[in-house]
Each structure stands twice: as C-alpha cells, then as structure tokens.
Structure 1
C-alpha cells in the first residue's frame, strides 16, 4: 500500500512539473536614452543563446520563455552594458524597460583616425579622444575653432588683436603642427588653417576625433603635433530637419540649418548651411580699435551617400565658404581699404572643397579617397597687401587586409599643392616653394594581435617631396589590455613638416616689422613617444568613473623659429641651430552619477622650449599649465539641463617690442567661464541661454595698453636712431612701433546669449 502511494505521488509530481515547465512566458519592453528610443540595441538572456535587437521604436521582445528567473543584458555602442533581473512566474508578459540615460560611455565610440580603420575606441592601439556634438552644445559657439576651447590640451590661439585670425595649439605646439581633416581628408591646411575651421556647420558634425602626437606615417606632412578629424553625419542617420539659431548681447547672430532628402531610391543627400554675422563695432578698452573683428560669413555643405550592392561605400561631399572680415580703427570703412589714412585689416576669403570616398567593386576591401580644394585670399593689413592662391589635390588608395592575427593596411597617396602669393615667401631663397609641389607616398601598417590582451602595431611611410626629396616616417604602437577596465598604450614615431611661413605666421604680415629669411629653410623632423593609461570603474547603481592619463615627449630637428627678440623691428626666420623639445603630462577625468550630475575635467602640464648654444628658452605664447571642465546637471521633472564650462591657463611669455615696453612680459593666470540653461520641454524644440565669460576677463587687465602705438598705426611719428633702433621721444616715451601681435586670449567682455534648437527626425 505504501509503495503504491509513493509511486502515485511521484507520478503526480512529475506530471505537475511537466505542466509547469511546459508553460511559457514573454519578456518585452523599450530601450531609451534621454527619452529617445534606441535602435539596434542588442538584448540577450544571459546563459543562453537567445538574443534580439530593438526595432526603430526601441522595442524588443522575447516570446515563449520557460518560467524561471533570468538576467537580461542590454548593450549598445556608446553605452555600458546594463543588466537587469526578471522572474517569470506564470504564462504572462513581463514588462522590462531599459533607460540608458546615465549609462553613456564615451569610450565605446567607433573611431577611424588613429589607424585609418573603423574600430571601437577601446580596441584602438592608438589613443584617440572623441568629442560628440552633445559635448560642444554645452557651450554653443559659431565655429569649430571656438568650440575647441573646452578640449583638454587643445587651445585656440588668437594671433592678432585686430583681425582675430588664429590657429589651434595641441600640447603646446603651434597651429602649423596640427593637421585638420574633414571626414579624413586633409583639406584644411597651410593657407587655410587660419580660416578653414570657421564656417563648418556645427549641426552636421557627428563627432570630432583628436590624436595628440605625430601621425605622419599615415597622414604625411603637417600631422606633427597632432591632428583633428571632423567627422560629418551620414545622410541616412541625420535628422530630416535641424535648425540652431542663437544671438549674443554683442549683436552676434549664428544660424545653422540642416536637412536631408532622397534623390532617387538609392541616394541620400544631406545639406547644411551656416551663416554668421557680426556688424557691431565696440571699443570697451578705449584704444580707438575694434575689440572684436566684424564678420560676414556663409558656408554651404552638401554630402551625397549612394547605396550600392554589398553595402559598399560611395560618398561625395562639397563645401563653399565666403567670408568678409575686418577690424581696425573705429572710423574705418571699405573706402580706406589698403590706404594710409585710417588703419584697418580687411580679409576676403573665397574657398571651395570637394571630398569623396569610393569602395572598389572587388572582393578585397579597396578604398579610394580623394579631395580637392581651392582657396583665394585677398587681404590688406594697413597698407600691406597679402594676395594668395592655393590649390590642393589629394588621392589615396588603401587596401584593408586580414591574414591570421595580422590586420594589414597598405596605401599609396599623392598630394599636389599649388601655392603663390605676393610676399617674400615665394621669392628669393624660397622661390622653389612657389607654384607646384608634388608629394607622392606609400605606407604600410600591420596591427598584430599577439594574444587577446596584447596588440602590436608597426607602420612605415615613404614620401618624395619635389622640393625636399626623400622623407621616411616610421611608427610603432603597443596596447596591453590588462583587463576590460585597465588599458595601457605606448606609441612612438616620427613626423615631418614642410614650411610656408607666411601661410602660417600672421605676425609676418602685420605691424611694422621687417621680415627676413636667413638661408634656405629645411623641413622640420620630429621624434615622439607617448604613454597612455586608461582606467574605468563602474558601480552597480550606474555610477561611472573614468580617467585617462598621457605622458608625451617630442624632439625637433630643424625647427623653424621666428626670432622676435634680437631686433624689435625685424622677424628673422631660420632653422634652429640646436633642437626643441615639447614634453608634458595630461589627464582627463569623467564622472557620471545616477542623479543626473556629470563631471568632465582635464588638465595638461607642458614644457615647450628651444635649446640653442646651451641656452634654454621657453616658447613664446605657450602656457605651462592648462585645465578645462564641463559640469552638467539634469533636472528631469523640469526638463532642464544646467551646464557650467570653463578653462584656465597659467602665465605665458608674450611678444614685447623692447625692454622698455611697459606691457607685461608674462600673462597672468586667466580663465574663461560660462553657464548655460537648456529647456527641452517642447516637442522637437530646445531653448537655451546663458552667460559667457562670467568673470568678465579680457587681456587688457593690468596692462596700460594692448596694441602698441594704437594712436599712430602707420608710424608717421616714429623716429629712428642711426643704428636703426626706435628713438624714445616725448610722443613715443617707450620707443615702440605699431604692433597688434601682443595677444593671448579673446577680447570679448561678459555677454549673454539666447538660442533655439529644432530637430525633426
């Protein structure tokens, strides 16, 4: 009897278990970030092979799941993995949503700049810094040039108090050592480096990738101090319509428009227009010169994406830029242009560009990239005329090939440069820099996966310059993934740069100094090493902390120096009889809290100096320390974001005219700080506003004047001694000549701004 009961009970339990296990349930939900559905997010059940992806509305679902407890993982590019637990108790559908707003991870973007291949940033053996459009919106600016002021180790340097032209410094190295790319094409360089960063429609920028240190083995000349690659949006991923318009209390108006359309079933077209207008002369420091250059600029950009078989790439893009800018005495108008009655600096820039990328219709991954641009400039600096023309054609064929643990890249490139101007840069000993320069080159790169944790990269490039001959630039890189949260990278390489001083040094064109070129200039060569360490930490509640630190060292041969000190009436250019060194340390810290508070803080210490005849001299206009920050806080119930951004710079040596010059030899510690409020409570619309330069800092603080001899810009009342030096007189007690190059920071006071942003997806 007892045996029968046991058998019956066992059979009953087995039957019930079969019923229970036969029951199925479902799990589904939505994945969003900041209220926006995320497409193509990978969602999986841990411990199983079951996986799916979210649809265009951010939805996912798992059907017919056996009852029980599970862990579900959501992962997407740009976000950290999020794991949630769920229990299915009966035949039901369980709602499980994921909000990734506080799980953004800037370390997982796809980058191309470091190795010319699309790889996740964490996988790249070359450290690449990535800044998205969202980062630059924390402090809206009318140009990429100004936007870079909040990037650690990168400083937009104004080179003239009057016309406000400038360049980009990376780790203390001046603008000519920085290569600017648009979608990987070197179309902003040489003559246009001063102006090419203005007029790129910010609304069309997907992200900006920055590599610090020489990259000549992949990109050739000018990629010595580093490179900045501006990646524009893919037409198929861009919103249907975007508009961003803001104005400041100074009277500046900036308009960015973007829209896309289809030109047939297989062609997506993206168009962007930027217009910037500033026509309000102000003179807050009362020197009778405009504090800020007046500008009228329009830029039109268009990008075509062609759909092809097997998802092969074919894109074409073009941009046209026209700018009219001037600064000078407050009573100046165009009737005085080039004359000696009223001083003004007037610059007309006319520029167009074409870029493209085409994947060849073969099984191998062969890509042809090409670009062409023309830049015409008509400038007047007082009575000094600078009329220049530049044309650059570029073509590059690359073969991306994998063989075992080798990830190979072969390439050949050809760069043609036509340059001519009306200055001594193209006459005399440097006349061979005029007209046509050819630069063919070949390169090879091998990324070897030694083990899952160790990668080694070796690259070599050979170029033949039609003026300077053979140029070799090797490089090596090593990446050690200690674990998924600790990565060490070591990079070393060489770089070279062929120089046109007048295209890059604004000081050579303004003021009363005489320009002299001592001997035939040789191309500069550099040797560089960079050690990079990345650490990231996560907490269970979604808090993220990351720190990235780098130590860098660059050694220069043949450095070309403009000597402003030996004779205050001259600028002498020559190759350095010695060497130069740029070395330092930088660190970036990123902290994201689950309460909506986010900190991004960076700092760089650098020592940039020349060594000649045993004497060390700090580079002019170069700070020892710089820092930047962006603090953001989102108040979800109010749909309000508060952004507090800023930077700080230590003293830098400034270009004085003589020992009697009463202006400061070194700048003070200075800082530009901004605050912004953004309201997103309207459908498709954001309204933002705030205050720039909260501390109301300008360079004239602590100085008797900024522009030397602003009352006599044509030096009509300057007298000279028998030896050619300036004579001190009652009218000229310090023995100075007119000079506007004493500049190291923006000259705009505190000001408010207000803008509106429309996005229709």
Structure 2
C-alpha cells in the first residue's frame, strides 16, 4: 500500500504494501456512499482512508452537519447509530454514551488533544461549537493503548478545518420558537437564537483565521404561570483565533487560542416542611484553551510531530431565594498536556510509531470561600505515558496493527495496556468490496479528580453527589468483530459485534444514599465489581437514485452488573436511526432524521423504575438562493415527543417541537 504524502503529512508517499485504491467506510448516520474516502486519524494516529484503517472509525462530515443544521457537537452526534446522548441531570447539557459505557468513560478530543470534563466528570458536548469543524471521528471500544486513560469506552475526536489561503469565510444566523412552551408565553417568539462567523486570510505560507459563535436560548416552560422552568436559559459564546505557518510541503506549525463562556439560569421550587420556596440558580462557566504544535516529514518516510495544550476551566455557581444569595461555589480545573510522536521509516512492510504524553491537572473548589475538597486547598495529579505501535502489512489484503502503552500515574502507579487490530480486504470484485475487522483492546481509566474529590451540589433537586477518594481505576477488555460490504459505491452495509468486560466500573452508588437533616439525599461514587456490555451495531446506506439516498442503523445493547445480576442504569437495549436525503431540484434538498430509543433502567435497586421509550423525527430543508447565499429551515421533534415533568424517572426529551429559519452567506474561495 502507498500512503500519499498528504495523507501522512510528509513530503513523499510511503509504500508499505499494495492495496486496492477504493476507500469506503461508515460516515456516521449520513454516509456519503459516493465519497467514502475521508482521511481519519483517531484509530491509528496517522491519516488513513476510512475503509483502509484497521480500527473501525465512523465519521460525521461537514456536509452532514450543514445539511442537518447542527449547532453544537451534541447536534452533530445525535444521528450516529449507537451513540446515546444523555441529559446531564441538573445542568443544561448532554454527555455521550458508547457501547454501554457512560460519558466519563468516553474521551473527547479536539484535534487529538483532550477537553476537560466540563460538567460533573463528563464533557458537555453541547458546549462545543462547530464553526471551525471539518468533521468528527468516532472510535468505539477500548483505545487506551492509543490514547491513554479515559478512552476506555471510546474516543470522539473533533477535527478542525485547515486555514485556507486567500480571503474566504462565512456568516450565518438562525432563530426559532418552541411554540406555546416559549418562556415568554408568546407562541411566536424567537426563544432560541444563533449567530456565527468565520474568516480565513493569508498566503500559502502564513495564514490566519478568526471565528465566533453565539448561541442563546430562553429555555422551555410548559407552564408559564408557574415559577419552575424545566429547561434552563443559557447563553454560550465561543471565540477562536488560529495562525498557521507552512514553511514547505514537508511541514506545518500552528497556534490556536479559544475562549468559551456560558451563562445559565435555572428556576425551581424548593420543598421545605409546610412551604415551597422559589429559588434561582446561576452558573458562569469559562474555558480558556491554547494549543500549539507542528509536524515535519522527510523523504525517507520518517516524521515527527509535537502538540501541546493548556486549558483553564472555571465554574462559579450562586443560588438566590427571597432576595438573598447563598452557596457561592467556585471551582477551578487546570489541565496541561504535551504529546510527542515519531513515525519511523517503513522497513519490510512495518510502519513503526513511538510517542509519549505528559499530563498534569489540578482541581480546587470552595463554598463561601472555604475549601470543599476533603479539607485541602486543592488536589492535583500527573501522568507520564509512553506508547509504541507497529503497523504490519501482510501481503496486499491483510493488515495487523499492534500497540502497547505504559502509563505511570502519580496517584495510582504504573499500568500497561495493549491492543491488536486486524483488517482483511476479504472480497474484491468489480462490483463488490468486503472488509473484515477484528479488534481487541485493554481499557484502563484512572478516576478523575472530580470523581474522587468534587462535590456536585444539586440540593435544589433533592440530591448531592460526593467524590470518593477511595475509588480504584477502571479496567476492561474490549472485543470488536465487524464486516462491511459495498456495492458499486451505491449501497453500503456494516455489522459490528462488540463485547466489553469491565472491572471496577465507576458509577454513582444509588443503593447506599444517606438522608441529610434537610431531606436532601447524599450519594457517593463507587466501583462496581464486574460488569459486561455487549451487543450488535448495524448501518446501511443506499443511493436509490442520483437525487435520493436512504440510511438506517440499529443498535442492540445488553448490559449486566455481574455482582447483582441487574442491567446497568441509563442504557437502552434498542436504538434506531433512519434518514432520507432528497434533492428535489438543483437548488432545494429536503432531509428527514428519525431516532428511536427503547426504555431504560433508571434505578439499579428497583426493576420497575424505568424511563419510557421514545421516537423523534426532524425535518429540514436547504435552499441555494444564489451560489453563495443559502437559506434553511426545519422542525425538530415534529411529533412533540416530550417527557412527563411530574415523573422523576422519565428521561425522554426535555424540549418538544421546535421550528426555525436561518441563512448562511459564504464569500471568497472554497467553502
């Protein structure tokens, strides 16, 4: 196979073995059946066409995000088969679950560098804007040997766009209404608004981008006559600036800075003996992030790259009631990360890669000026990690990828995790292409500082979650078996079996809550002795005609706590996705996205505590008014599927039907 120079970021191609040139693969919920050669990097840490990568990788393309009018990373992921977006209880956001593992076991990256846990111990994927995003890569199953701790359940890697020379960019805006659930009480009201802009400028060697995104929502209120409001009012701002230097085709360097700001307000009734008190909570979140790095390649196929990140995350919360303020809580989470990787020259069909990661993080939290972290002023941890990967090409159709990572954690000592992946192009004819993938990976995840020390105070909702400093690291063995088929790039089918054996899985111990004097329940994180998640994922895409494309996916997930014999909480057994793309004319296209999720266990101690299943349907339309002006609109959740807010075990969607209109104008060169 010959890797093109652009694929590996080198100045010349690298030929390892002779492989077919057709590159196909799953592209998330919307697979572009005629263009499945997207270069992906998450599974192997080197760019590879999505079908040729030995690690199963799903992609959400820029075209799919524009077609469905996605506003955040959460929107981009909601139509990917097998991904479950969970509402973060008590917060205006969502986390991601993959193959039966929750958000704290899924690693979220931006250009290969981690994002700090923004809410609780998980990343809120609704906070990440898409203004600069080229595509999103999803790898399911344990990848700790490749990406280190926190990648036990899988990796979501957001890939940003390259800065373009010349002058180009776009401006975009949209607004929408929740109808009679607008907090203003007016059915026709812009209860949710968004504006974004991006501009690229520069020469072939020096380039600069600035981008900005603002999203506002007034929340959702089914009963505007009451004080409480089930969906919070939230304003989110993100500003980015990126500079790139391309001294030659052999190398490139970059500096990227961003600031994210979130201001939210929640309203609720606090039940006290003999009375109800109106309370209001406000939270101010800020994330300042700077990344820098570069790569360089040589004619013999060798290459080196270094990337670094420093991130400062702040969360300040304050409660109000009866004209007074209380519970002034301030949290600070700082994270620094440096990664170095060397690609050695190919030798005898081997492509060897070695690298290392240095990670440091600190956490502090105060309430009314007094530390809440086990009587200390702050906690910190560090991790030094080394990894090696050997990509072996066995003839023209078989590839074996072997990896090993050594991790030395300041709090939990050393650990070694391995991985092995096999890709076999088993069928190649003029019409049919079939690929078999086998994968095994050891998962290993150190409990983060928030799980061990942080205090998640949701007392206004009747509970508090306390960190547990005695937590042990989680570990797993993940097995993947997949088969994909393509017919003339007009039809695509994929089936993947997975089996994850988990040890010391970290969950909130709902069976051992204590009741405070004010009636608030206190929970702690705890290790589950053993657990299993297993199932099957299927994806199918068919181009019926040049103007009509259908896609669908189904996921079955079976989970079990091996100690109690019960299923794990918040893990639906059945999920389905269905989509239609219909280009009705040269200027108009219509799309439909449907999502189904079966019921899920809510409380591990009570079998009858289940959240109902649900189905939602979104419809959207895009109109190319001119080559540069695009008008769009749609209705999300057409049939108004919504939870019963009086049932604490109901986790169906918070928001009902939402109608919106928008426009995007592009200028300059390629868009």
Cα contact 2:437–2:483 (8 A) shared by 1:
yes
Quote the Cα distance in structure 2 between the aligned partners of 1:624 and 1:503.
27
1:157 to 64, 69, 86: 86
Quote the Cα distance in structure 2 between the aligned partners of 1:687 and 1:128.
32
Quote the Cα distance in structure 1 between the aligned partners of 2:139 and 2:496.
12
For residues 625-636 of structure 1, the aligned pairs below 5 Å read: 625-636=574-585
Higher helix proportion, which one? 1
Could you tell me which residue of structure 2 aligns to residue 618 of structure 1?
567
Quote the Cα distance in structure 1 between the aligned partners of 2:481 and 2:371.
38
Could you tell me which residue of structure 2 aligns to residue 732 of structure 1?
none
List gaps (5 residues or longer) in structure 2: 1-5, 7-20, 179-190, 271-275, 321-325, 516-520
2:475 to 519, 525, 529: 525
Quote the Cα distance in structure 2 between the aligned partners of 1:103 and 1:515.
43
Match of 2:278, SS? Answer: coil
CA shift digits 1:386-422 (9 cap, x unpaired): 4211111111111112212001110011111112223
Could you tell me which residue of structure 2 aligns to residue 257 of structure 1?
197
Quote the Cα distance in structure 2 between the aligned partners of 1:593 and 1:619.
40
Cα contact 2:24–2:49 (8 A) shared by 1:
no
**Inter-CA distance 446–378: structure 2 relative to 1 (3 Å threshold):** same
Could you tell me which residue of structure 2 aligns to residue 534 of structure 1?
484
- Worse-superposed segment, 682-691 or 211-220: 682-691
Cα contact 2:94–2:126 (8 A) shared by 1:
no
Could you tell me which residue of structure 2 aligns to residue 371 of structure 1?
309
For residues 211-222 of structure 1, the aligned pairs below 5 Å read: 211-222=139-150
TM-score (norm 1): 0.74
Which protein has greater RCO, CA pairs closer than 8 Å, 6+ apart? 2
Higher strand proportion, which one? 2
Could you tell me which residue of structure 1 aligns to residue 53 of structure 2?
124
Cα contact 1:213–1:224 (8 A) shared by 2:
yes
Quote the Cα distance in structure 2 between the aligned partners of 1:527 and 1:426.
36
Structure 1 position 308, deviation (Å): 1.0
Is 1:753 aligned with 2:660?
yes
Quote the Cα distance in structure 2 between the aligned partners of 1:519 and 1:195.
21
Quote the Cα distance in structure 1 between the aligned partners of 2:257 and 2:597.
37
Quote the Cα distance in structure 1 between the aligned partners of 2:118 and 2:471.
16
Structure 1 position 384, deviation (Å): 4.8
Is 1:551 aligned with 2:458?
no
Match of 1:636, SS? Answer: coil
Cα contact 1:202–1:256 (8 A) shared by 2:
no
- Worse-superposed segment, 543-552 or 470-479: 543-552
Could you tell me which residue of structure 2 aligns to residue 4 of structure 1?
none
How big is the alpha-carbon RMSD for the aligned residues of Structure 1 and Structure 2? 3.1
Quote the Cα distance in structure 1 between the aligned partners of 2:334 and 2:513.
35
2:636 to 692, 702, 705: 692
Quote the Cα distance in structure 1 between the aligned partners of 2:226 and 2:481.
47
**Inter-CA distance 77–362: structure 2 relative to 1 (3 Å threshold):** closer
2:243 to 288, 304, 313: 304
For residues 589-668 of structure 1, the aligned pairs below 5 Å read: 589-612=540-563, 615-637=564-586, 639-655=587-603, 665-668=609-612
Structure 1 position 427, deviation (Å): 3.7
Is 1:148 aligned with 2:77?
yes
Cα contact 1:643–1:676 (8 A) shared by 2:
yes
Could you tell me which residue of structure 2 aligns to residue 112 of structure 1?
41
TM-score (norm 2): 0.84
Match of 2:625, SS? Answer: strand
**Inter-CA distance 189–452: structure 2 relative to 1 (3 Å threshold):** farther
Cα contact 1:201–1:272 (8 A) shared by 2:
no
CA shift digits 1:257-288 (9 cap, x unpaired): 111112x6621112211001123663349764
2:175 to 238, 241, 247: 247
Cα contact 2:502–2:532 (8 A) shared by 1:
yes
Quote the Cα distance in structure 2 between the aligned partners of 1:171 and 1:239.
43
Query: Bigger radius of gyration, 1 or 2?
Result: 1
Could you tell me which residue of structure 1 aligns to residue 386 of structure 2?
442
Quote the Cα distance in structure 1 between the aligned partners of 2:468 and 2:109.
32
**Inter-CA distance 278–598: structure 2 relative to 1 (3 Å threshold):** same
Could you tell me which residue of structure 2 aligns to residue 399 of structure 1?
342
2:651 to 734, 744, 752: 744
Quote the Cα distance in structure 2 between the aligned partners of 1:524 and 1:599.
40
Match of 2:294, SS? Answer: strand
Cα contact 2:508–2:525 (8 A) shared by 1:
yes
Could you tell me which residue of structure 2 aligns to residue 139 of structure 1?
68
